[in-house]
Homo-oligomer: A and B are copies of this chain.
Amino acid sequence: MLEKVNIPSDIKGFSIDELNVLARDIRQVILDTVMENGGHLASSLGAVETIIAMHYCFNAPHDKFVFDVGHQCYAHKLLTGRVEEFATLRKKDGMAGFPKKEESEYDVVNTGHASTSLSIACGLSRALANASSDAIAVSLIGDGALTGGLAFEALNDSVTVNKKQIIILNDNSMSISANVGSTAKYLLKLHTSNTYNNFKSKAYGIVKGVKIDGVAKSMKFLYKAKNSIKYFLQGGMPFEQFGLRYYGPLDGHNLSELIFAFNAAYEDNESCILHIVTKKGYGFLEAEENPAKFHGYSPSKKSSAQTFSSAFGESMKYIASKNEKIFAVTAAMREGTGLECYAEMFPERFSDVGIAEGHAATMSAGLALCGYKPYFAVYSSFLQRAYDSVIHDVCMQDLPVTFCIDRAGIVPDDGETHQGIYDLNFLRLVPNIAVLCPKNTAELDAMIKWSIDYMHPLAIRYPKGSNNVTSKVKPIVLGEWDVICEAESNLIILATGAKMVEVGGDIVDILAKKHIKATFVNARFVKPMDEKYLLTLSGKTVVTLEDNVLAGGFGSSVLEFFNRVEMNVNVACFGINDEMLTHATVNELLVMTGLDAETLANKIEAKYKKHKK
């Protein structure tokens, strides 16, 4: 059936049976492609029927579809004329794994982070209202993303928007990890309540036979019926507080039920929330049974090297066993950050607060105020969501909270929203915080162990993936760098972070073949820097390497220092220019940014020779 769909309105004439075949076709394409390219499998499989029903009942691109996070949108891409390109999913120059307005007029907004959809929809709806447009915004948001404060801020504001909007709540009881907190409990109560389900199936029975143009009226009856005391007693009402009609829960894999409800919501005049229950990974047994594993699937290129995430988890277990004040915090990333085993071993000193990075950081400040030593494990690009909590609640009070920043630097496949290329810059400008970048998993372990007695704010950043630097770890001393190889040379290479230490090692080898010697330093403290060492570099050529943006980065910090102490040093800074990084492999991204060893070696050679003249 998928072959018959060029534009989404092509499916409007399909029968339910044909739509079910279409769903199967789409699922097969997703499965085949993700097994090859990697991608967000479980959530995309779970949303197939929902997205089919959206295109069947609503009119994109006239109506504006907003996909929260956007990792579930593969079916949408396949229904909007992108079947052929789908084979290039997440490949360099290929189709992005998230909605991209540059890709299609059906993609309204670019996303990648959670909980933004309802805010975007508020803005769209205000604009549509002012233009007296009959188009509406339709958001698809997961129950996990609903725990993010931004979603709540939008719900609170949405009542003041003078325009109908439709919110589809895709409830699969999962973020990337299983969901937590009272919102999750509440939703579970809603969709497991027997009384309610009986009531609903009865009401649904009444209206099931009614033909399509009668649906809205019947749904209104259903809605009114729900407005009974019984209904209030068991749910829905918190959404009513936000000025939203509540329909649900609906079976998110039953196309008849979805189409029935979506049509009713479309014909109604009021904003509503459609609560649908789906199974993450639906249609692919392995993913259904282990959705966390198949959240972001990578085709196995098994490397024997340990990942930074798992090394971090091991270190945390070790320090927690030695010191009872250690406490680990995550924002819905227990598996991703490597804390699975830790959480099992130390449930009393572990907290998964849901998709709520700001709260995770501020709550950590509260723990620290009562004598704990919290470690908040978070992906670099998501830490941006907690920036004020970092500044206002942790650093301004000089509290001993450690931010363990995974996926820092260049990140493969997921594109610009997942790049960790800003953290070093936006952190080092904050007072009281120290910023560390281990060169390998052994140094990460040493830093975590060293951090136990460090009673100030701390950030330790490390990349996605495996350890590729084998040089020995020198004991950690605050502000002391690690000279990996000392050469009799006026060329000094300062590399920060595991990826650039790896690249730097290759550069040293390339230069050696050209008979250029260089001293090579692992600049593992970005703040405070090793000023004692820097003071020895007068008159030399100093190269800085970092896989984050140059503006205000590590190189700038070195420039600031030499400028402040009025030292004459020939500095060359290499990092990422003021532009965004799309999706590609790490090696492709290094080449694209000119940060591969070959390119850098040539540039460094030129710079060095020019200076020698």
Contact = CB atoms under 8 A, between A and B. Distances in A.
A457 to B, nearest CB: 12
A428 interface: yes
8 contacts: A149-B150, A150-B362, A153-B353, A156-B354, A157-B181, A182-B242, A392-B417, A552-B557
B367 A126 contact: yes
Given A124-B369, A232-B232, A431-B578, 11 more contacts: A108-B369, A123-B367, A126-B366, A127-B366, A127-B369, A127-B370, A156-B354, A182-B241, A384-B391, A551-B552, A563-B573
Interface in A64-113: 64, 101, 108-113
A166 interface: no
A178 B348 CA distance: 42
Contacts of A7: none
Interface in A133-175: 147-160
Interface stretch (A114-122, A255-263, A295-303, A304-312): A114-122
Interface in A558-583: 559-560, 563-564, 571-573, 578-580
A149 B358 contact: yes
Interface string A431-468: 11000000000000000000000000000000000000
B367 A127 contact: yes
A356 interface: yes
A387 interface: yes
A512 to B, nearest CB: 26
Identical subunits present: 2
A-B interface, 4 closest residue pairs, ranked by CB to CB distance from nearest: A123-B366, A149-B149, A552-B552, A127-B370
Given A127-B371, A182-B242, A370-B127, A387 B384 contact: yes
A278 interface: no
A365 interface: yes
Contact of A363 (B157, B359, B364, B550): B157
Interface centre among A109, A387, A432, A572 (most CB of B within 10 A): A387
Nearest to A119: B362
A416 B398 CA distance: 13
B119 A366 contact: yes
Given A123-B369, A359-B122, A387 B131 contact: no
B580 A396 contact: yes
> Chain A, interface size: which category?
35 or more
Q: Which interface residue of A150, A151, A229, A356 has the most chain B CB atoms within 10 A?
A: A150
Contacts of A362: 116, 119-120, 123, 150, 154
Given A363-B157, A365-B109, A233 B229 contact: yes
Given A153-B354, A156-B147, A550-B560, A113 B369 contact: no
B370 A123 contact: yes
A429 B548 CA distance: 10
B359 A153 contact: yes
A585 B590 CA distance: 49
A527 to B, nearest CB: 8
B122 A366 contact: yes
Nearest to A137: B366
A356 B153 contact: yes
Given A148-B149, A182-B158, A392-B417, A370 B131 contact: yes
A5 to B, nearest CB: 26
Contacts of A392: 111-113, 116, 381, 384, 417
A6 interface: no
A128 interface: yes
A552 B425 contact: yes
A158 B181 CA distance: 7
A150 B359 contact: yes
A269 interface: no
Interface in A473-528: none
A368 B113 CA distance: 19
Contacts of A366: 109, 119-127
A580 B429 CA distance: 11
Contacts of A64: 370
Among A374, A389, A557, A559, find the residue whose CB has the most chain B CB atoms closer than 10 A: A559
Given A122-B363, A182-B242, A563-B559, A370 B128 contact: yes
Contacts of A124: 366-367, 369-370
A552 B429 contact: yes
A372 interface: yes
Contacts of A422: 391, 429-430
A147 B153 contact: yes
A352 to B, nearest CB: 9
Interface in A191-249: 229, 232-233, 237-238, 241-243
A181 B152 contact: no
A505 to B, nearest CB: 25
A109 B397 contact: yes
A363 B119 contact: yes
A540 to B, nearest CB: 15
Interface string A329-368: 0000000000000000000110101101011001111111
